[in-house]
A and B are shown apart, each in its own frame.
Chain A
Amino acid sequence: GNSVTQMEGPVTLSEEAFLTINCTYTATGYPSLFWYVQYPGEGLQLLLKATKADDKGSNKGFEATYRKETTSFHLEKGSVQVSDSAVYFCARHNTGFQKLVFGTGTRLLVSP
């Protein structure tokens, strides 16, 4: 079936450390892929997206590349800040279906 698997958290890092949050997907067809961020007590905000293989989504220093050969969409940031502390959700949908399927979320904690 269609699903999204992401690494369990929490991920605890010091400020300016390198971040990777792994995400893999299973799907038929060619889904669009997304990373959403949720700050405490808030809804979800779209962080970045990629709609086809080899696309790289980027925003606020975060990047993720749509890898069809490994069915992955890992989130990376070269230097995290305390303000990046949040829960990050990987998600996918298939064109035409409009529904989103979310991973379990990964909590990131960045300390000064």
Chain B
Amino acid sequence: GAVVSQHPSRVICKSGTSVKIECRSLDFQATTMFWYRQFPKQSLMLMATSNEGSKATYEQGVEKDKFLINHASLTLSTLTVTSAHPEDSSFYICSANFGQGNTEAFFGQGTRLTVV
């Protein structure tokens, strides 16, 4: 099956700094990728849809200036958490669609962000 790689898997940063998370489709081209946030013992919350070559589409309540998304190529989307605060600590997961009708989602391994 298709492979989506997410990096880093774990990051600790100081409050006020910015952190970039990468999501790569390794063996296919992904015009659309999705970024999710998962709180402890909770479900995934879709944050935004990343579109190659255009602006991301953010879900209601997600601050676009806080969570910057760039999808500059068909195999890479990045999520930058700007001026991170402890409340941004979470598990972030990306996915990319593949397959017939481009409807099957493949997920990255996730990134555990801890802001101290």
Seen from chain A, the residues whose Cβ lies within 8 Å of a Cβ on chain B are: 32, 34, 36, 41-46, 49, 89, 93, 95, 98-100, 102-105, 107
Contact = CB atoms under 8 A, between A and B. Distances in A.
Contacts of B67: none
Interface in B39-98: 41-44, 46, 49, 93, 95, 97
B101 A95 contact: yes
Contacts of B112: 41
6 contacts: A42-B110, A43-B4, A46-B106, A95-B101, A99-B34, A102-B44
Contacts, number: 49
Contacts of B110: 41-43
Contacts of B44: 44, 89, 102
Contact of B103 (A32, A36, A44, A105): A32
B92 to A, nearest CB: 10
Contacts of A95: 101, 103
Instruction: Kindly list the 4 A-B residue pairs having the minimum CB-CB distance in the complex, ordered from nearest.
Output: A43-B107, A44-B107, A43-B110, A43-B109
A101 to B, nearest CB: 8
